[in-house]
Amino acid sequence: MKRSFDNLFPLLVVLAVLFLLGYPFAFLMGYPLAKTNLEDHNRWSQQTIKAFEPVNVSDLSNLKFTDSISAETGLLVFEGTPVRSAYTVDGQLLTLESDSLQPVQLTPLSGQIDGQNQVFRTERPTTDHPLYLNDRLLEPGYEKPPEKPDGVRLTFTFTDTQGVFALHGQLLVPGKDYTLDGTTLTLSQPASLWLSLRTEPDWARPIRVTGDYAWADDATLVLKQAPPAGSTLQLASAVVRWAQRLDGVVDGQNRTFHLRHKNLVSNDAQRQIYVDDHLLRTQGRRPQQRADGQTTTFTFPEPGGIITLNGNALTAGQDYEQNGQTVTFKQPPPRLGQLLQFDYVIADAEQSQLVLALPPASGSVVWANTYTVYDKPRCGTNVFECFLSLPQHPVPLPHWLFTTAPTFFAKHPWESDTNVVREVLYTARGTLVALLAGGFVGLLLAALFVIIRPLERALLPWVIASQTVPIIALVPMLVLILANFGITIQTSILPTAIIGGYLSFFPITVGATKGLRSVDPLALDLMRSYAASKWQVFFKVRLFAAVPFIFASFKVGAAASLVGTLISETETSNAKGLGFAILGQVQAGNVADLWLLFIISSLMGIVFVSAVGWVERLVAPWMRKV
Amino acid sequence: MKRVNFGALLGAVLALIATFGPWFTGTSSSLRLQQLEQAAWAFLPLLLLGAFCVLGALFKSRWLSLGLVLAGLLGALLGLLAFKDSLITVDATAQWGFWLNLFSFLLVVVGGISKLGVLQGMGWSTRILRDFLPPASIPLLLFLSWEALTEGLRIPMAFFPRISDIYQVLISAYGVLIADSIRTFFKQVLIGYLVGVTSGMAVGLVVAFSLFLRRGFLPLATALSAIPIVGLAPVLGRAFGVDWESKAAVAVIVSFFPVVINVVQGLTTIDPLKLDLMHSYAAGNRDILFKLRLPNALPYVFNALKIASIIVLISVIVSEFLIPGPPLGLGQRISLSARSGRYDVTFAAITFASIIGILFYNAIVLLERAFTSWHSSFREK
Amino acid sequence: MTEEAVTNEHASQVASAPIISATDVDKVFPGKGGQVVALQGTNLDIASREFVSLIGPSGCGKTTLLRLIANLDSISAGTLLVKGKTPQQARLDRDYGYVFQAPGLYEWRTVKRNVELPLEIMGIDKAERQKRARRLLQLVGLEDFEEHHPWQLSGGMQQRVSIARALSFSPSLLLMDEPFGALDEITREQMQQEVLRLWSETHTTTIFVTHSISEAVFLSTRVVMMSARPGRITEIINIDLPHPRNEDTRESERFFELVTEAREALRRSERASG
């Protein structure tokens, strides 16, 4: 007992150590991907910095904002124009010195406020004006599903089921107007084509209200929750907001400014930067002429502006001369080069640094109405968290093998061909047949080699060379040829036997030949003295001497025929067996399942090799290993 | 009578039937017929054959056996060329005369080889005839039969390529195949092999000196050496990505285990007498390691290196099948061409793979001879 | 030298401090069916410059005793002193050379390098090593085979190399375990002559294990009889044959007398142990 414990204990310790080492190994393999997720800005969540409205609009001379504000970093703007009148800022309160602002007209909406009605209408359609419920500013938000390319507007797929649904200015009633199956919405009636022709195409799709409210068409608001009776719902006519100033000296010469939040999203079309009340456009403007590698003179829509070639800003005076709208390049821009004229360019997106085309005159103010920056990584705050949140791990964490095993085995029922146990049995059958086939050929060849010496000399180098030919390449061809004779892998075990046997016959040939030759010369001489025939010598002496070698080579052959069988299962279109399962997991499927299959196939190999050992002990008990 | 080479004689008789038979049966099946009608040189193999058979019955000479082999090859080759020639005028599969012609001349070759195979002596001519010619003639027989079968049965190339097709690909696209080979071999096989072998030696060294590790790790290593590549490759593909690293990783693992097992075996399987000798010199562990264990282990190590060199190439190629990556490398070439029915390219790539495998293996054998020429296995006759 | 003088010389040497001193040495091996008592109550003193043979049937413990002296096995009970030290210390101090039953040459080394092996381990520099190896190979008559490999030599020649190797670091004690067992009669006698010559030239104390009575008598100054079950020393016979010994010695009457005496002693002990 102690001896088997002595032998088993170290093995268990080593296995345990390997198991534990699996954790740092999994982390190491997933580290590059996790690091990229952490550091690549494109994988970060985004935050939109907007000029925000005050909480109350009833009294414009005393505005209260949700956060504390400072006159250094921000300014009050009114409908896109900085407010020139003096005001004081104290914490969250802003007090206007004089009543210079036009009073904000609050338009009540038509619609019952009774605690149940969610739909409201306005006469003056404007989607930009803020909505106040009592004195609370409501946030709009909606989701528009992707357009169906076939135009049949019956089913739409959303990303969530929370919220209410609206279409064409109407609130959709669940059950009556639509049914929801998971995230797929099916309308009872297709969205009316007549309506969609008449209205904006955008409104012809149902929307899901994700925020406090959303515009269901030009003049209709749908609220997520019905406002309680007695509350007031009003649209503000004008827009008063607190906007951010840009950092930078305004002296008529400086053109470089910074936004206050770092990591600017470069391709943000919503960005609005103003100089006083003049909006700087984010889009570039094209010249009239096309760059063809020869033209040097181009006419742009505006005088001034920063000229970029393929995204890189060029320097006036150095790369080109500008005269009003005409720009003359020192070198003709290359063919198909993209020439654009910008009001400003982003010099450093990480530092949110902008370079304006024209330096703002002193006394003016540069401010941002809205812009988007990268906020933080989506996956977590450090590499480890990002590693854990990887959707696909290169190497699974060891304990997952145990947690996914039950689901893995239960995934397919026993009756189905894709049940794991059935697959294992199928592969085992193939391996056995392949081993027997290879063994037969191997032993036959070995016998021939021993009896006819010249044959060995002639064929052995080529037997060795045959193993350098990758049989996996010839499997499709072999299957095709056999199919021509009506032998398919579905109907017959022959293809598997050939492929597996091809891989296993070589070690058996080599081992058996060596074994048949490893006879004690004295024993051979003894046989000669008995005038025994060649066949008698073969069976009585050589075969027995060869037994240990034959069994050793059969062990190698068993592993090889398993490989061959698996290969034949991967390359053919027969949907059975472990090889097929592995192939399926390679293409889709989680990495823990793949490892489970790998472990199963390895265990199969071990079992087969051990089985040969047991057979040896049964058949040749005199070969007791010391 | 003992001198008569029955194989060759039978072959000669059949060749006669194949050549002249159609004249009597009236079938225009033997293409030799058309040749005979056109050129006298078509008689040459038959004449040579007859001469060698007769002389062989009268004299016993190795050169006559050599002559039989050459005559047989010549006859089969000419029959094949004649068939190809006749395809210009007639597009049909080969008839019985063609097959009998082929079979008979191949029989003659086998007859000649069997006589050459039992030559005695160590002279250089004997060695060439006995040790070199028989193995060298096998591929010639194989290629002739292959070409004859595919040509004679008019097998379409998408089904099974001809030797001539493969040859065409080899001479026209060898640049691509060489680039593939370089990528597959040097980047994936060689790097993986070297890493696997050196780490195997290091681990083997450590394991050999710890009984605990030997009990714990060695059974694991033996079991893990039975890992089917089909299970291993996808796992490594997921871990290392689809580029060359995963295939190199396959090579590392496949070469690691045989080396570890054999290194441990070599370091621990020592003649007790030699060890006692060291003890009697009160030799320190370092001396025992460097002067006894390591040299003793070298034959085992090389045994493992040889085994690993064969397995590693095939494993990398198979893993290129199973881990789809950039379409470069021999395995990918084989896979892509096989899937699109271009079997001539497949076989051309396989030829490259085989040649590389044979060269690699023999390089290791040369190294083995250089480092362990003292080992008894080199003295066995 | 006269017979008398030789005997006197030996007697005086025995009186001075013995090189080997065994007192009540036991050696027990644990076995499958119980313990095996290889040696029991062994007492033996060997003086410097002696040539002592240990002789007896199989299982009498002669090889075991030699291995105990060499510290290749450890004693179970009793005291064993080699040059006044423990066997382990003697081994660490490299006080003896051991010649095994088989040559045990390293196949990957040439003959010369095989002889140099102990010198390498003892850290002797290359020039000195080569000088000594050459000299010793000359001593055993194999100077022409320096660059050969072991397998290119016959069994007897290999055994000579192993003797040269054992002597390469000039130990004061030489232990030989049936070194000529695998050789034919004629080569054997030649080798015996060689060993005697070396002994007289180098004055190395030699302990020689053999199962050939004539060999023991021919070579030794004393012959120690041992018997089995349990292994022990039964008798010690002084060999007073004159030196130098040669073929004539083998045919002398005194030689036959001593051989007969030894044979009878062995038979007696055989009968006694049953």
CB–CB contact C107 B291 (8 Å): no
Question: Which of the listed residues B155, B188, B206 is the one where a domain comes to its end?
Answer: B155
Structure confidence at residue B323 (pLDDT) = 83
Predicted model pTM: 0.72
Highest mean pLDDT among A51-60, A344-353, B42-51: A344-353
**A306-331 confidence digits (pLDDT tens):** 888 888 888 888 888 888 888 888 88
B322 CB neighbours in chain A (<8 A) are 570, 586
Q: Residue A192's pLDDT is what?
A: 61
Q: Do A6 and B215 touch (CB under 8 A)?
A: yes
Asked whether residue B286 is domain-assigned, the answer is: yes
Question: B263 vs chain C: nearest CA distance in angstroms?
Answer: 17
DSSP B29-70: --HHHHHHHH-GGGGHHHHHHHHHHHHHHH---HHHHHHHHH
3-state secondary structure of C48: coil
Give per-residue pLDDT as tens, A203-235.
667 888 888 888 877 778 888 888 888 888 888
Average pLDDT over residues A606-623: 82
Residue A524, pLDDT > 80, answer no
For the ranges A105-119, A175-189, A346-360, B22-36, the maximum mean pLDDT occurs at A346-360
Going by pLDDT thresholds of 50, 70 and 90, the confidence category of residue C148 is very high
pLDDT reading at B303 higher than 70: yes
CA–CA min distance A45, chain B (Å): 27
Residues of C with CB under 8 A from a CB of B: 70-72, 91-94, 96-98, 100, 102, 104, 106-108, 117-118, 120-122, 149, 151
Interacting residues of A189 by C-beta distance below 8 A, sequence separation 6+ = A177
Judge contact between A513 and A450, C-beta under 8 A.
yes
Answer yes or no: is pLDDT of C197 > 70: yes
pLDDT in tens, B164-211: 888 888 888 888 888 888 877 888 899 999 999 999 999 999 998 888
Check whether A401 has a pLDDT greater than 80. Answer: yes
DSSP B373: T
Tell me the CB-side half-sphere exposure of residue A495, using CA atoms within 13 A. Answer: 29
- Geometric angle at alpha carbon C102, from C101 and C103, rounded to 5°: 120
Can you give the pLDDT at residue A127?
61
| Disruptive mutation site among B277, B298, B302 for chain C (greatest number of C CBs within 10 Å) | B277
> Which range (A549-558, B119-128, C210-219) has the least confidence?
B119-128
Which chain B residues are closer than 8 Å to A469 by Cβ? 350, 353-354
In chain B, positions 223-282, which contact chain C (CB-CB < 8 Å)?
Answer: 271, 273-274, 276-282
Q: Is there a cis peptide before residue A476, judged by omega within 30 degrees of 0? A: no
Q: Other CB atoms closer than 10 Å to residue A422's CB: what's the count?
A: 18
Domain count, chain B: 2
Amino acid letter for position C116: E
Contact across the interface for B228 and A562, Cβ inside 8 Å: yes
What is the assigned CATH class of domain C3-95+173-273?
Answer: alpha beta
- At residue C128, the pLDDT reads 92
Residues 6+ away with beta carbon under 8 Å from A101: A60, A78, A83, A85, A240
Contacts of C106 in chain B (CB under 8 A): 274, 291-292, 295
Please give the Cα distance from A363 to A126 (Å, whole number): 33
- The radius of gyration of chain B from alpha carbons, rounded to an integer in Å, stands at 28
The residue in chain C having the minimum alpha-carbon distance to the alpha carbon of residue B288 is C121
Q: Do B376 and C106 touch (CB under 8 A)?
A: no
pLDDT at B3: 62
From C261's Cα to the closest Cα of chain B, the distance in A is: 35
What are chain B's partners, defined as 3 or more CB pairs within 8 angstroms?
A, C
Report the chain B residue with the minimal C-alpha distance to residue A458.
B135
Rounded to a whole number, what is the distance in Å from the CA of B51 to chain A's nearest CA?
Answer: 25
Say yes or no to pLDDT of A125 above 70. no
Averaged pLDDT of chain A: 81
Of the three residues B136, B155, B174, the one that is the final residue of a domain is B155
Q: Are residues B14 and B51 in the same domain?
A: yes
Beta carbons of C108 and B273 less than 8 Å apart: no
> Residue written as tokens 């007289």?
C200
Say how far residue A295 (Cα) sits from the centre of its chain. Answer: 44
The whole-angstrom separation of Cα A493 and Cα A261 is 69
A54 has pLDDT over 60: yes
Interchain pair B226, A594: CB under 8 A: no
Are the CB atoms for A550 and A557 separated by under 8 Å? no
Q: What is the pLDDT of residue B204?
A: 92
pLDDT at position B34: 59
pLDDT at residue B9, rounded to an integer = 79
Comparison of pLDDT for C178 and B20, the residue scoring more = C178
- Percentage of residues of chain A with pLDDT beyond 90: 4
Tell me if B354 and A468 make a contact (CB, 8 A cut-off): yes
Position of tokens 């081994």?
C91
| Candidate from A537-541, B29-33, B82-86 with smallest mean pLDDT | B29-33
d(CA B140, CA B130): 16
Residues B141 and B245 in one domain: no
Residues B365 and B315 in one domain: yes
Flag whether pLDDT at A624 surpasses 60: no
Chain B CB within 8 Å of residue A469 CB: yes
Strands A306-309 and A339-342: antiparallel
> Per DSSP, what are the bridge partners of residue B296?
none
pLDDT for A626 equals 36
- B291 located within any domain: yes
Q: Are residues B178 and B136 in the same domain?
A: no
In a shared domain, residues B144 and B175: no
DSSP one-letter code for A230: T
Window 428-467 of A: residues touching B by CB (8 A cutoff) are 453-455, 457-462, 464-465, 467
Is the Cβ pair B113, A454 closer than 8 Å?
yes
For residue A147, pLDDT beyond 70: no
Q: How far apart are CA C269 and CA C266, in angstroms?
A: 5
pLDDT tens per residue, range C103-147: 889 988 999 999 999 999 888 899 999 999 998 898 888 889 999
Looking at residue B229, its pLDDT comes to 82
Q: Clarify whether residues B192 and B237 are in a common domain.
A: yes
Residue B381 clears pLDDT 60, i.e. is over it: no
Question: Which residues, including other chains, have CB under 8 Å from residue C59's CB and lie 6 or more apart?
Answer: C228, C229, C231
Interface check A609 vs B, CB under 8 A: yes
Mean local confidence (pLDDT), A374-383: 84
Test C93 with B372 for CB contact under 8 angstroms: no
Query: Sign of the CA dihedral A162, A168, A174, A179?
Result: negative
Say yes or no to pLDDT of A58 above 80. no
Task: Report whether pLDDT(C223) > 90.
Answer: yes
Residue ranges, CATH 3.40.50.300, chain C: 3-95+173-273
Query: A168-177, A416-425, B271-280 — which one is most confidently predicted on average?
Result: B271-280
Three-state secondary structure call for residue B297? helix
B337-375: pLDDT as tens digits: 887 878 888 888 888 888 888 889 889 988 988 888 887
Q: Is residue B131 one of the residues assigned to a domain?
A: yes
**How sure is the predictor about C14, in pLDDT bands with cuts at 50, 70 and 90?**
very low
Answer yes or no: is pLDDT of A509 > 70: yes
User: What is the structure's pLDDT at A435?
Assistant: 94
Please compute the mean of the pLDDT values over residues A68-85 and round it to a whole number: 83
Which of A10, A458, A477 is closest, CB to CB, to B135? A458
Please count the residue pairs, one from chain B and one from chain C, whose beta carbons lie less than 8 angstroms apart: 53
B338: nearest CB among A477, A481, A600:
A477
3-state secondary structure of A29: helix
Tell me which chain B residue has its CA closest to the CA of residue C97.
B280
B1 domain-assigned: no
Which chain B residues contact residue C93 at CB under 8 A? 282
Note whether B185 contacts A: Cβ–Cβ < 8 A: no
**Could you read off the pLDDT of C52-82 as tens digits, one per residue?**
999 988 878 889 999 999 989 888 889 999 9
| pLDDT at residue B40 greater than cutoff 70 | no
Based on the domain organization, do B50 and B118 belong to the same domain? Answer: yes
Band (pLDDT 50/70/90 cuts) for residue C274 is low
Q: Which structural domain, as residue segments, surrounds residue B12?
A: 6-155
Task: Show the CA angle centred on residue B233, arms to residues B231 and B234, nearest 5°.
Answer: 80
Taking the C-alpha atoms of residue A348 and residue A306, their distance in angstroms, rounded to an integer, is 15
Which of chain C's residues have a Cβ under 8 Å away from the Cβ of B375?
107
